[in-house]
Amino acid sequence: MAGGKNMKKSVSTNPLLALKAIGQHIWLDNLSRTLLREGGLQRLINEDGVDGVTSNPAIFEKAIANGTYYREDLERLRSAGLDAEACYESLVIADIRAACAMLLPAFRESRGEVGYVSLEVSPALANDADATVVAARRLYRQVGCDNVLIKVPATDSGIEAFFRLTVEGISVNVTLIFSLEQYEAVLQSYLLGAMRWLESGGQARHLRSVASIFLSRVDTAVDTFLTDLGTLHAARLCGRTGIALAKCCHGRYREVFQGPDFALLRLAGIRPQTPLWASTGSKNPAYSDLIYVEPLIGLGSINTMPETTLAAFRNHGLAADTLQEGLEDARHHIQALLALGIDLNRVGESLQLDGVRSFAEAYRHILQGLTAPEDPVLHEHPGGARLTPSA
């Protein structure tokens, strides 16, 4: 990987590099042309060991609205008569390709373990398996990079699409996982899909998958229920659910991928599907800014962080192998919630619906802004170009 010598020299002084020494991979939960063209992403790769990037419609909505580097391409695409969705895909695919190129050394050095960039299918397709498969195939071909992960949600239709894409050998990041029940469905679909891929003659090492488990949103929802109960016992459970969910998911990951259920696939060279900690920026100012990082460090995991969380860990993070600690406590925590009437599987269903709705809204906002040239949607402001919905 580029900057490898500097990484070896700095591992004792940069906690982010110490995470890699423990075996955890750090991905950036952001992508924009500003990061690509002004060297921000390359610095994170070279100096902090970042070896992956995740994106979603909300990230691209912000990037396009606040970045100056999209104007020329946007005007060209509009002049070509492309509709809003085609304009959007052209803009973001260019960014995805550029990020894939920057991460290609990590991809090659790790033999396809890391170095990936995630691109999400339209969230409007979250409940349409057939349309998701068609869109995923098209985006995969259009990006044309081996180190792209196509992102689909862990809805019922999304999991069906994920299975079908895995059978075809397309590498997928399954997103919007908020419960153990959702994680189990994703995990089982990967096992079956990977087996079918092998049976069809597919190459084992070509296949890669991650399961994105969202954490801070779980705490936000559960803490609201606990606070409403108004008891000391409930108060003591606040701020612990996201971590408990992650530890239980990783415990299940170890049971499956280190056990007999995966034995044949392991012998054939199929990689485990790696849990990825997402939504790792603290949303409660009363909690540590590293609440979803320090307790979840360990081999067989990825943490995708926004830039503020990366900077916080670089500044004052403690790198220690903590992921396998406290699994029984995590299970007891979930049982304690259930005893209070808080079922995390039901909470997860609600959060997933909200997540799909939020991404779909961001996607609609982007498309509303990418209208015909005569519409007054692109305005200068001090930070660059702003996209606003047309009247």
Q: Which residues are catalytic?
A: 151
pTM (predicted TM-score)? 0.91
CA atoms within a 13 Å half-sphere pointing along the CA-CB vector of 156: 2
The pLDDT tens digits along the chain (391 residues) read: 444 444 443 445 899 999 999 999 999 999 999 999 999 999 999 999 999 999 999 999 989 888 789 989 988 988 888 899 999 999 999 999 999 999 999 999 999 999 999 999 999 999 999 999 999 999 999 999 999 999 999 999 999 999 999 999 999 999 999 999 999 999 999 999 999 999 999 999 999 999 999 999 999 999 999 999 999 999 999 999 999 999 999 999 999 999 999 999 999 999 999 999 999 999 999 999 999 999 999 999 999 999 999 999 999 999 999 999 999 999 999 999 999 999 999 999 999 999 999 999 999 988 988 864 544 334 333 333 333 332 2
Whose CA is closest to 30, among 16, 44, 49? 44
Residue spans of beta strands (DSSP E) within the chain? 25-28, 52-53, 116-120, 148-153, 172-177, 209-214, 274-278, 302-305, 378-381, 384-387
Q: Positive or negative, the Cα torsion across 293, 42, 92, 312? A: positive
Q: Give the chain's count of helices (H) and strands (E).
A: 17, 10
Q: How far is CA 307 from the centre of its chain?
A: 14
Domains and CATH numbers, the chain: 4-373 (3.20.20.70)
Note whether 178 and 351 are within 8 A (CB).
yes
Measured torsion, CA atoms of residues 9, 14, 16, 22, in degrees rounded to the nearest 10? 60
